[in-house]
Amino acid sequence: MTDSVVNYFKHALEELKKVAWPSRGETLQKTMLVVIISLAIAAYLGLLDYMFTLALERVV
């Protein structure tokens, strides 16, 4: 049992060494892009919600 667990982690570490990790700059750039897009979508949905709320208040 312990041999299979040890082998699993050995193979996992070998595979992790093969990964082409992004640079710090690439990671920061992609993270900022995700944050900006998320904020834009949140603002859009918030505006839509506000507009629907106003429309429903006029009807009811």
Q: What is the pTM of this model?
A: 0.69
- pLDDT at 3 > cutoff 90: no
* Residues 6-39: tens digit of each pLDDT: 999 999 999 999 999 999 999 999 999 999 999 9
* Residues 37-56: tens digit of each pLDDT: 999 999 999 999 999 999 99
- Direct distance between the N- and C-terminal alpha carbons of the chain, in angstroms, rounded to an integer: 67
Q: Give the per-residue pLDDT at 2.
A: 79
Question: In Å, what is the CA distance from 7 to each residue of 1, 15, 17, 18?
Answer: 10, 12, 15, 17
